[in-house]
């Protein structure tokens, strides 16, 4: 066993200072190193979600983002997808607090006339095995809204008098999911289309 | 967000121990008697609320202002460790009787992930101001207390029951904790 | 203790999860699938290994009274490194492990090994200890995650093994406690057979 170093006030303060300083410098360095890749990973995730919810495009939607104001002083980020300069779809990053756990985020793509093209879950903390059935890789539940135009398709779960089949045993998640789409749809139809 | 909703959600629906799995070590470690469970709850509540207030202010006014949020983990754990020391010293001076009751639990709190977990959750929640964070921390402490005190009550009864040899001790306690968690799932949907 | 024993004790005899009952929060919290369990286990192994190395390297320079705060700073730094790296290169795993990544800091296994082993032993022994304990932890998490995934959603590492829904309760919170309870009973039995003749 190594002999313990004596603890005097000066060497205690000095040791703690050196340990913390080395730690902070190393972390700062690692932070700079990973900053680029973290940004790239986030960007890739967004672009992938946009590609999933809008038709093929040849612009870079994340370079043309604009914000849509919604009721509670918040706003949603929109990504217009264009092909040969013509608007083919708009991906809107939307969210809901009506889910089972905390706020979750989804990306929803609208055709220029407001028809829902597709959806993609961005992040959620819903219950594994129940609420996470809204994920594409866990089932095709979420595909039922694809191709529907909310003008004649009631964005509410059947339990609440709408047209959407809820996930069995995960009514809250289902409500949240349609609530998020509804939020984006209303904002989009209120002049959120950028031709 | 309404305070009432935060409180109900933190205590019952997303109970910190039984649904979020934070603070499981003390939950299993000091729950063999109701009296120790009560003592632990008191100490946790004290540190959790204080730590959340301090870390919230640090996060908003120091880390975010300077753009060094990657120092969050180090800062938070140091704040909690120093707070625990500080509380220990102060309690010893100000209220020796309270120190007698809580003293032995305080050192255990530094590595109680419920405290760090709640501090991080409060700091990362965009909707939370200082008031909400404080209420959130307090509600979680109450949730921790309810879970651990209920559980210790059940464990006291376990001593009187005949349990198969292999399941004695920790295994049967965990199964009982599972049943308690199952009961808490019944609260889902009320908030 | 032989070098081999230092390395292998973490797997069964002194398994941090099944025998020492340390670091229970991530054990229960992230093991909804085998993949999450393995990811968390390996992240913890990395932090444990690195902190063991650094602590055993600098043990003679650290004054006794400030050793715990120094260890905590060292551990927290490695946790942040894991956090940043995972966010950059494994963003999906990062999302599903969530708050449990920063919470590796308060995993008692890590501070426990720094204090009980690395602060008293050579660098080589500390490496073996860190690797053995870390992999033992990872093994326990993977087994628990795999069992919960099989029972709860009928799959392992995301590959379906039987059709149908499975008993959902095993993926939810109560199942974590119950499956772990039975696993600990099993490991007690095994240890008794192997070591207490």
Sort out which chain A residues have CB atoms less than 8 A from C77's CB and list them: 23, 26-27
Within-domain flag for A15: no
Q: What is the enclosing helix (H) or strand (E) of A177?
A: helix A171-189
d(C-alpha C170, C-alpha A59), whole Å:
46
Look at C64 and A4 and tell me if their CB atoms are within 8 Å.
yes
- Domain limits at B176? 3-185
- A48 within a domain of the structure (yes/no): no
Partners of B13 on chain C (C-beta within 8 Å) are none
Identify whether B191 is part of a domain. no
Judge: C181–B77 Cβ closer than 8 Å, yes or no. Answer: no
Chain C CB contacts of B121 under 8 Å are 99
CA–CA gap between residue A16 and residue C62 (Å, rounded): 9
The arithmetic mean of pLDDT across residues B97-110, rounded, is 75
A34 falls within a domain:
no
- Chain B residues lying within 8 Å of C185, measured CB to CB: 166-167, 171
pLDDT > 90 fraction of chain B, expressed in percent and rounded: 24
* Over residues B87-108, mean pLDDT: 78
Spans of chain A, pLDDT less than 70: 1-6, 129, 192-195
Q: Do B19 and C173 touch (CB under 8 A)?
A: yes
Residue B70: closest C-alpha in chain C: C80
Taking only the tens place, the pLDDT of each residue in B25-36 is 888 877 778 888
Task: Please report the pLDDT score of residue A130 as a whole number.
Answer: 74
Number of domains in chain A: 1
Helix (H) or strand (E) holding A185: helix A171-189
In this structure, is residue A40 part of a structural domain? no
Low-confidence ranges of chain C (pLDDT < 70): 1, 164-165, 196-197
Span B36-58, pLDDT tens digits: 888 888 888 888 999 999 999 99
Q: Which residues pair with A90 in a beta bridge?
A: A80, A110
**Predicted pLDDT of residue B165:** 83
List of residues 6+ apart from C150 with CB closer than 8 A: C156, C161, C166
Which residue range forms the structural domain that includes residue A59? 53-189
What average pLDDT score do residues B85-113 get?
Answer: 79
> Which H, E and C letters describe C104-139, residue by residue?
HHHCHHHHHHHHHHHCCCCHHHHHHHHHHHHHHHHH
pLDDT at residue B189 is higher than 80: no
B58-70 pLDDT tens trace: 999 998 888 888 8
Residue B92 lies in a domain: yes
**Count of structural domains, chain B:** 1
pTM of the model: 0.85
Residue B35, phi then psi, degrees to nearest 5:
-65, -40
Which of B63, B186, B188, B190 should we substitute to test contact with A (largest number of A Cβ atoms within 10 Å)?
Answer: B188
Predicted confidence at residue C80, as pLDDT, reads 93
Q: Is residue A74 packed enough to be buried (19+ CB in 10 Å), middle (13-18) or exposed (0-12)?
A: exposed
Can you give the pLDDT at residue A185?
Answer: 87
């Amino acid at each position: 066993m190594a002999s313990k170093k004596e603890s005097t006030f000066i060497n205690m303060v000095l040791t703690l200072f050196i340990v913390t300083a080395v730690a902070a410098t190393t972390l700062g360095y690692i932070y700079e190193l990973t900053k680029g890749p973290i940004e790239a990973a986030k960007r890739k995730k967004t672009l992938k979600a946009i590609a999933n919810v809008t038709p093929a495009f040849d612009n870079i939607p994340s370079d043309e983002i604009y914000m849509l104001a919604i009721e509670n002083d918040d706003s949603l980020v929109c990504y217009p997808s264009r092909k040969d300069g013509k608007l083919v779809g708009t991906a809107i990053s939307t969210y809901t607090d009506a889910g089972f756990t905390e706020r979750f985020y989804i990306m929803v793509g609208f055709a220029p006339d407001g028809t829902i093209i597709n959806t993609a879950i961005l992040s959620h903390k819903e219950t594994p095995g129940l609420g996470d059935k809204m994920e594409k890789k866990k089932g095709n539940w979420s595909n039922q809204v694809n191709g529907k135009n909310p003008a004649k398709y009631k964005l509410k779960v059947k339990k609440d008098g709408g047209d959407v089949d809820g996930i069995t045993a995960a009514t809250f998640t289902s409500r949240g999911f349609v609530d998020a789409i509804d939020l984006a749809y209303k904002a989009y139809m209120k002049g959120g289309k950028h031709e | 967000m309404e305070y009432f909703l935060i409180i109900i959600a933190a205590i019952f629906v997303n109970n910190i121990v039984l649904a979020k799995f934070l603070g499981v070590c003390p939950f299993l470690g000091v729950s063999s008697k109701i009296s120790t469970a009560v003592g632990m709850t008191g100490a946790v509540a004290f540190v959790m609320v204080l730590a959340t207030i301090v870390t919230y202010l640090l996060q908003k006014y120091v880390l975010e202002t300077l753009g060094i949020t990657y120092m969050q983990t180090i800062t938070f754990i140091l704040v909690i460790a120093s707070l625990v020391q500080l509380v220990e010293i102060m309690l010893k001076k100000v209220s020796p009787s309270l120190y007698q009751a809580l003293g032995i639990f305080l050192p255990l709190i530094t590595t109680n992930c419920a405290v760090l977990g709640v501090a991080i959750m409060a700091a990362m929640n965009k909707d939370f101001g200082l008031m909400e964070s404080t209420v959130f921390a307090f509600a979680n402490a109450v949730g921790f207390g309810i879970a651990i005190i209920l559980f210790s009550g059940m464990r006291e009864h376990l001593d009187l029951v005949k349990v198969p040899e292999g399941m004695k001790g920790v295994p049967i306690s965990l199964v009982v904790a599972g049943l308690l968690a199952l009961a808490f799932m019944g609260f889902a949907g009320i908030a | 203790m032989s070098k081999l024993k230092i390395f292998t004790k973490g797997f069964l005899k002194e398994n941090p999860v099944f025998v020492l009952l340390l670091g229970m929060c991530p054990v229960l919290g992230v093991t909804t699938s085998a993949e999450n369990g393995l990811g968390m286990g390996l992240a913890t192994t990395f932090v444990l290994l690195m902190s063991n190395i650094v602590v055993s390297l600098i043990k003679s320079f650290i004054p006794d009274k400030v050793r715990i705060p120094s260890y905590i700073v060292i551990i927290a730094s490695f946790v942040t490194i894991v956090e940043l790296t995972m966010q950059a290169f494994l963003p999906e795993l990062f999302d599903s492990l969530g708050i449990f990544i920063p919470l590796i800091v308060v995993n008692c296994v890590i501070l426990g090994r720094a204090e009980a082993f690395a602060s008293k032993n050579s660098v080589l022994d500390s490496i073996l200890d860190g690797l053995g304990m870390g992999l033992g932890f990872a093994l326990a998490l993977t087994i628990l995650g795999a069992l919960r995934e099989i029972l709860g959603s009928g799959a392992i590492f995301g590959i379906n093994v039987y059709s149908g829904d499975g008993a959902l309760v095993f993926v939810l919170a109560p199942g974590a406690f119950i499956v772990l309870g039975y696993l600990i009973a099993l490991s007690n039995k095994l240890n008794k057979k192997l070591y207490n003749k």
